Every structure is written in C-alpha cells, then in structure tokens.
A = this chain, B = another copy of it.
C-alpha cells in the first residue's frame, strides 16, 4: 500500500521517449504510447502490478482483457453520473419558482386569492393588526422534524421566528453543498444570512465529508444563544459573598454554525477522541442533510404536520425510548441556575442515539445511511 517511492522512480526514459516519438506516430503507435504511459503511471502507484506479476502469462492476458472491460464499464458509469447530475439540475430548476412562491407567501410579499384586509379579533375581543404572511413558518416546520426539534431550545425560538427562508445549493470548488438561512433584522444578531457549508471529497462520485464551515454569528451584547451566564450561589460558610458567574456553552440550534473541527495537530487526537469527533461530524452532517433533503423541499408539509406521518418508521430507538417528544427541548435549558457541565457530552450522546431516527437516504448523490425500521 506504500507509495513512498513514487517520487524516486526514474521517469527519464519516458521524458526521453516523448519528444522523439511525438512527431510522426501512427494511431497504433499513439495507442501504444498511451498504454506505456498508463502502465508507467500505474507502476508509480506501485500497487496492482505486484499482483499482475505473480500471474502466469495466460492469466495475465485474461486480466488485461478484464481491465479493458472494466474501463468500458467505468466510461459508462461516468456518463451515468453526468446524466444523473443533469437530471438533478433539471429538477432543481423546476422547483425554483415554487420555492420563490413559497417565500413570497410566507413573508407576505404575495397576497393570495380571497385574503381580506380585516384586522384580527383576538381571544379577548381586541382588534389587532393582521399578521403578515405565515408567522413562525420555518420555526414550526423545523420543530415538526424530530431531529431538528431536538436541537432547538426554547431560548432559540425567539430568534428562529425571524427566519425568512432556507435555501440550499451545490458548490463545485471544492465540491459539496451550502445551506443559507435568511433572517429578518432581529434583536439577536447582526447577520442577515447564516450559512453552513459542507465540503466533500468526490471520490468517484461517492462523496466523503471533509469539513463543515459555519458563519460566525455576530451576537448583540447579552443576546448570545449559544452561551449562558450561570450564577452559582456560594456555599454556606464560604468567605465569598457575591454569587459566582460563569459563562458556559449551552444547547442551541445556533451551535449548528460552529461545527466540530478536526484539530490541526493530529498528535492531539487519540482513538477515542477521533471516534467521538467522527460521530459528532456525522451527526452534524446528518442535520445538514435533513435540512437539505427533507425540510427545504417539504417545508409546507412539515409546517402543517403532514410530513411527520413518515416518522412511523422512525427506527428501532423510537420503539424503546418514547421519552423524547417532538418538542423535547432540554429541560436544563430553562434553568439558568443549574450546573450544566455535562451538557455538551449529553448532547452528543443523544445525537448518536438518534442518528438513525432521521437519517434516511437522501435524494441525489449525497445519500445517508438508512435507519432501521421496526419489524413489520
């Protein structure tokens, strides 16, 4: 498996051969040259030639024909990937005007037929101004999805009411996809767009997550939702009289924009930490995929609750652990006076446990592991 000697291989013979040969080559010669180059490059990779060399001449001939057959397959497969990408792009274009219409209705830009201009009479018989568009559309939609609801604390809801739209798009250099959360001006942070970008390495059209990047949120003073100031009463008899204040990270959907990072220095990571990090990154990717594949295309169905029906096959866990309901915000969040040192760990644990509850295989090229469903 070692490519250590790849740089030391003498390629002078190739360099020497090329200019002389390039002048007047027959098609056959050219094919031969291409083959020689290919073989040279393959031997640089230093891998499969070992196997081929152990084969008897006849078997080697057979394997050479098999390799041609494999090349034919791979050419076809490349075309398949291209056609599939074109098909996906075609449909994304079809969806676009529907998403625009949704945006306009949700945000009151577009009036629908039959809308009246009458003010609303509230429960107490008071007249109040008519709501614009569909209030709390995205917050309600997100809270219908178990995986996302799990991430939304009560404190977050105030800010998520300002969500005007969520969009996604592919990125190409590097490959991956980007989610954009568009916010109305709000008292929590300055940003009007919070983005989350996933970079993948496209290994033969089989994406491998490389890293996730989030927008740095510019919180207004005292409004940060991802940190909490905890007041701890001094112990009885302690000489300290003032309450101790401590800033701690806390559960918040907005942690989504500060995704786990692989440390620069590999030496800092032992096996256990690496596995934990991998689980966290996977979970983070699952949330991103859920937003891309489920929430964005079917936001109205999540808002109305129709999409929730799909959850009847919500994985094994659902059968044995009914303690989390959709609105299952962590109770701890509502109690600012509590010690919450284990919060992050707990969140991860939960993430891992729930991983399969919502991680269904997505449409398009970036799929996910299918979760298990209960026995039928």
A332 within 8 A of B: no
Query: Which of A23-31, A114-122, A155-163, A237-245 lies at the interface with chain B?
Result: A114-122
Residues of B within 8 A of A266 (CB): 319-320
Name A206's contact: one of B72, B274, B362 (CB within 8 Å).
B362
Residues of B within 8 A of A58 (CB): 115-116, 118, 120, 130-131
A324 CB to closest chain B CB (Å) equals: 11
Known: A56-B130, A367-B368. A65 touches B209 (CB 8 A): no
Interface size for A (C-beta < 8 A) is: 123
Residues of B within 8 A of A36 (CB): none
B274 contacts A317, C-beta separation under 8 Å? yes
Q: How many copies does the complex hold?
A: 2
A352 CB to closest chain B CB (Å) equals: 8
A213 within 8 A of B: no
B76 contacts A94, C-beta separation under 8 Å? yes
A376 CB to closest chain B CB (Å) equals: 6
Query: Which of A13-21, A98-106, A215-223, A340-348 lies at the interface with chain B?
Result: A98-106
Residues of B within 8 A of A51 (CB): 140, 303-305
Residues of B within 8 A of A356 (CB): 278, 282
For A309, give the chain B residue with the smallest CB separation.
B45
Residues of B within 8 A of A56 (CB): 120, 130-131
